[in-house]
A and B are shown apart, each in its own frame.
Chain A
Amino acid sequence: MLELILFYTFGAIAVISGILVITRHNVVHSAAFLGATLFAVAGIFLTLHAEFVAGVQVIVYVGGILVLFVFVIMLIAVERSVHERQYNKQWTIALITSAILIVEIAYGLYRGRDSLVLPAVVPPAAAAAGGNSEQVGTALYTSYLLPFEIASILLLVAIVGAVVLSKKRTPAEE
């Protein structure tokens, strides 16, 4: 029962603030609601017993990415954008496309929900033996060592890219 309440609470917060993110006129409000969604998603992770990822979600997403968004919003003027047109002229086409998409996804999920029962399910007791962080760490440093190292190149590319794009311009470039 508790788990049902938690799921619906976090789920409702995530969906409602998600809708608010994409409908607010003021970007700062959108960012605030994005924060609410991110926290709610972290809560959802907790109900699924993924404590480590929930922590990463809060630290990286809320503490890193969201703060980055807010910095950039503060850096660039927001006053003018509030009074500009907010939606595309083709928003009807966009909504129809999205409607088709959700129908397809929902239909696929609904038809496929039986197949989600999979063989070889380990009993939760055995899985919980090591503790969540330990399990994630072991998987990350053994089976997924190569992608782990590759992710470091990815982050390097992102750092170099962000610096290249926003560093001070040389006189020749102006």
Chain B
Amino acid sequence: MNLATINIAAILPTLVLSVVGIVVMVAEPFVGEQKKSNLGWLAFAGTLAAMLSLVPMANNRGQWYSNLWIVDDYDVFLDFIFLLIAAITILTSMDFLRREELNHPEFYSLLLFATAGMLMMAASNELVMVFLGLEILSIATYVMAGFRRADLKSNESALKYFLLGSFSSAFFLYGIALIFGATGSTNLLAIADALRSSKIQISLVSLSAALILIALCFKVAVAPFHVWTPDVYEGAPTPVTGFMSVGPKAAGFAVLFRVFLTAFPSIEDRWGSAIWMVAALTMILGNVIAVVQPNIKRMLAYSSIAHAGYVAVAFAATSDRGVSAALFYLLAYSLMNLGAFAMVTIISRKEDKLVNVTDYAGLGSKRPGLAAVLSLFMLSLAGVPGTAGFAGKFFIFRAALESRLVWLAIIGVVTTVISFYYYLSVIVQMYMREPHDEFSDVRLCGSLKFALVISAAGTLYLGLLPTRVLDWTTTAALR
């Protein structure tokens, strides 16, 4: 390879994020203590610039950098989701960091680097690149989870996330090493070719596929690899929890789809049933355990496990329709879950003290606006018609039925009904319980309002007019 094959446009969004991340850090000493939140706006502008640079990237489709980097519609759509997640998380954390007196702009840098890692994961055509992207995302997220250093809960969250994360990374690596030995390559297309040529002993390939699957299941937190999730989500600073519940999850699924549908389609009979069981178990466990959680962050943690189960249903469908439904669902879920966590950030107040579902009692009469927005997110997470959650679930179950996964669709519908119980209990608290709190110290500043408006508008738009986005995901899913 010579210098001529370097294509800046193909990696432009990643480059923009990394450069802005560095600029934010370098600029910190030159900015006064009072103006540090302006660096948050700089980081926000960085995500917008990266979104704009998706346009030149999309014009450079194909494989670049010795076939390590791939630009296609799938990649562009996922990058859009990741950048949206980063933008909303930055808006949510600006006020949070000021409130908690944690105003270190490194937070934004880490968030931008983590997003760059997600972009790499989606665009990688090669397992070692996937691994590097995954590690950038994970390491940045470990640190963000432990960002409230003086709080033992935050330390514990970071430590548990780190131990489980690096443990699963080692499994992922072992899988890569074995597939490299079996096929002589880690390029996804080369692996697929090698598997088709049939000279390879299948048990070695299945072993490595299993190791990679286990590692990614840890990362996206599906049962039975979900046990770390509630503790990590509860202890992390709330905006970080919001980010963790959507970012690494979406990126992990992006890799799962890309790796298994590109490299391992010829041994689908071996991993298909595993996905089936994972999806069923995840939906059941996530939704049932969420019912008994008094802490709203733990409740949303189990809810996020359950939602990963729905995406796994789309994965089990192993069709273009399934991938398209999964992409739609990831976008819808990201918007509504980030919105819900933005509300939790607002209500929890200083030091994340008020995080029980009962702390929301009477919000409807004291702050009707906030209660209405939170109700929208809860209804959408539950999957009420007219919201993004309903549209997403509908497409997923339709894809499952088309692939004859009748039982999975039935389990999905039944567990959705169970989920109404815990989502609606929040709404019941807000509107039907006597307030024991005036909510007078609930501040709502501009950036948070902005985050809520984006998530709420997105949730409604995807719920009421899903066709345009669905067309986009359909083209993105075509391989």
A–B in direct contact per CB < 8 Å: yes
A: residues with CB less than 8 A from B are 104-105, 107-109, 111-116, 118-120, 142-147, 150-151, 153-154, 156-158, 160-161, 163-165, 169-170, 172-174
Instruction: Give the distance to chain B from A10, nearest Cβ to Cβ, in Å.
Output: 19
Q: Is the CB of B142 within 8 A of A119?
A: no
Known A112-B182, A116-B181, A146-B129: A165·B146 in contact at CB below 8 Å: yes
A-B interface, 4 closest residue pairs, ranked by CB to CB distance from nearest: A112-B204, A108-B207, A115-B201, A161-B143
Please tell me if the beta carbons of B110 and A160 are within 8 angstroms of each other in the complex: yes
Say whether A174 contacts B110, CB under 8 Å.
no
B113 on the A face (CB < 8 A): yes
Q: Cβ of B227 < 8 Å from any Cβ of A? A: no
Mask: chain B, 93-113; 1 = CB below 8 Å from A; 0 = not:
000000001101010011001
Contact indicator per residue, chain B 184-201, by CB within 8 Å of chain A (1) or not (0): 100000000000000111
Q: Which of B131-139, B259-267, B383-391, B417-425 contacts A (4 or more CB under 8 A)?
A: B131-139
Extra pairs beyond A104-B207, A116-B181, A160-B25 (8, CB < 8 Å): A108-B203, A111-B201, A142-B66, A146-B68, A147-B129, A150-B136, A163-B106, A170-B101
Contact B110 A157 (CB under 8 A): yes
- Return the contact of B139 from the options A144, A145, A158, A163 (Cβ within 8 A): A158
Residue in contact with B184 in the complex, picked from A113, A118, A160, A165, CB distance below 8 Å = A118
Known: A161-B142, A164-B106. A150 touches B120 (CB 8 A): yes
Q: A115-B201, A119-B199, A173-B149 are in contact. Are A164 and B1 (CB under 8 A)?
A: no
Q: Is the Cβ of B101 less than 8 Å from the Cβ of A172?
A: yes
A115–B206 CA distance with the chains assembled, in angstroms: 13
Q: Does residue B116 face the partner (Cβ distance < 8 Å to A)?
A: yes
Q: Could you tell me if B101 and A150 are in contact, using CB atoms closer than 8 angstroms?
A: no
B375 at the interface (CB under 8 A from A): no
Q: What CA separation (Å) do A118 and B18 show in the bound complex?
A: 40
Annotate B1-38 by CB proximity to A: 1 below 8 A, 0 otherwise. Answer: 10000100001000000100010010000000000000
Which residues of B (168-186) have their CB < 8 Å from a CB of A? 178, 181-182, 184
List residues of chain B with CB within 8 A of the CB of A172: 101
Cβ 8 A contact of A115, one of B109, B150, B182? B182
B357 part of interface (Cβ distance < 8 Å): no
Rounded to whole Å, the gap between the CB of A138 and the closest CB of chain B is 10
Shortest A119–chain B CB gap in Å is 7
B114, B117, B142, B206: the one within 8 Å of A108 (CB): B206
Residue of A nearest to B203 (CB): A111
* B65 part of interface (Cβ distance < 8 Å): yes
Of A118, A147, A156, A158, which is in contact with the most chain B CB atoms at under 10 Å from its CB?
Answer: A147
A157 close to B140 (CB less than 8 A) = yes
* Contacting pair B65 A146 (CB below 8 A): yes
Please determine whether B204 and A108 come into contact, CB atoms closer than 8 angstroms.
yes
CA distance A107 to B203 in the complex (A): 8
Minimum Cβ distance to chain A for residue B26 (Å)? 12
Contact assessment for B1 and A143 in the assembled complex, using a CB-CB cutoff below 8 Å: yes
A161-B140, A164-B143 given as contacts; is B102 within 8 A of A173 (CB)?
yes
10 A-B pairs in the complex with CB atoms less than 8 angstroms apart = A113-B201, A115-B204, A145-B6, A146-B68, A146-B69, A157-B113, A160-B109, A161-B110, A165-B146, A170-B101
User: Given that A112-B182, A160-B25 are known contacts, is A145 also in contact with B1, CB under 8 Å in the complex?
Assistant: yes
- Residue in contact with B132 in the complex, picked from A104, A105, A143, A150, CB distance below 8 Å: A150
Given contacts A147-B132, A161-B139, A173-B101, contact A153 B149 (CB under 8 A): no
Nearest-neighbor residue (CB-CB) of A174 within chain B: B150
Main secondary structure, interface of B, reads: helix
Tell me, yes or no, whether B128 is within 8 Å of chain A by CB. Answer: yes
Is B147 part of the contact surface with A, judged by Cβ < 8 Å?
yes
User: In the assembled complex, how far is the CB of residue A162 from the closest CB belonging to chain B, in whole angstroms?
Assistant: 8
What's the Cα separation between A145 and B128 when bound, in Å? Answer: 13
Contact across chains for A150 and B133 when beta carbons are under 8 A apart: yes
A173 neighbours in B (Cβ, 8 Å) = 101-102, 149-150
Complex CA distance for A142 and B68, rounded to whole angstroms: 12
Complex interface: chain B residues within 8 A of A145 (CB):
1, 6, 65-66
A164 near B104 (CB under 8 angstroms)?
yes
Q: How far is the CB of B32 from chain A (nearest CB, A)?
A: 15
Residues of A within 8 A of B207 (CB): 104-105, 108-109, 112
Query: Which chain B residue lies CB-closest to A143?
Result: B66
Q: Which residues from A are CB-within-8-Å of B25?
A: 160
Contacts of A105 in B (CB 8 A): 207
A156→B19 CA distance, assembly (Å): 12
Q: Which of A112, A170, A174 contacts B201 (CB 8 A)?
A: A112
CB contacts (< 8 Å) of A164 on chain B: these are 104, 106, 110, 143, 147
Q: Which residues of A contact B201 (CB under 8 A)?
A: 111-115
A155 to chain B, nearest CB (A): 10
Q: Check if B200 sits within 8 Å of A115, measured CB to CB.
A: yes
* CA A109 to CA B201, docked complex, whole Å: 10
**Contact indicator A156/B113 (Cβ below 8 Å):** yes
In the assembled complex, how far is the CB of residue B279 from the closest CB belonging to chain A, in whole angstroms?
22
Q: Contacts A115-B204, A116-B181, A154-B136: A146 and B116 contacting too (C-beta < 8 A)?
A: no
Do A153 and B184 touch across chains, with their CB atoms under 8 A apart?
A: no
- Least CB distance from A108 to B in Å reads 3
Determine the chain A residues whose CB is within 8 A of the CB of B114 once the complex forms: 157
Q: A120–B77 Cα gap in the complex (Å)? A: 38
Expressed in whole angstroms, the Cα–Cα distance for A108 and B135 within the complex equals 27
Q: How far is the CA of A164 from the CA of B295 in the complex (A)?
A: 29
Rounded to whole Å, the gap between the CB of B346 and the closest CB of chain A is 21
